[in-house]
Amino acid sequence: MASSTRDGDVHEDEIRMWPEGDGWVITHIETGVTTQGETRQEALEMLDEAVALHRGEIGHEPTDEELREMGIDPEDNTTGDGELPDFMQ
């Protein structure tokens, strides 16, 4: 995984990868994003996508129509303004 800096230089992002069970787990150090794959290559590909999603470089918020297609009422799909549960703090 490589990314560009403001001055145009390319640097490699720091990752940690280790075997676990029948697959591989990989963490992107800067963001803390962690994913896994059956092979090292699959884990790297999954991490690239997960980090891009985390950074808002890909993906989008679902439209009301997309929510309805998934059986979700958009009126019930709200972001809570309350305090986060203890396990999320």
Sketch the domain layout of the chain as residue ranges: 14-67
Give which of 21, 24, 65, 80 is closest to 47, Cα–Cα: 24
pLDDT reported for residue 3: 46
More confident residue, 61 or 41: 41
pLDDT of residue 2 exceeding 50, the answer is no
Highest mean pLDDT among 4-18, 32-46, 56-70 belongs to 32-46
Tell me how far apart the alpha carbons of residues 53 and 16 are, in angstroms, rounded to a whole number.
19
Protein fold of 14-67: Double Stranded RNA Binding Domain (3.30.160)
Residue 45 CB: number of other CB atoms within 10 A? 14
pLDDT reported for residue 42: 97
For the entire predicted model, the pTM comes to: 0.60
Long-range pairs, 22-30, Cβ under 8 A, ≥24: 28/1
* Average pLDDT across the chain, whole number: 84
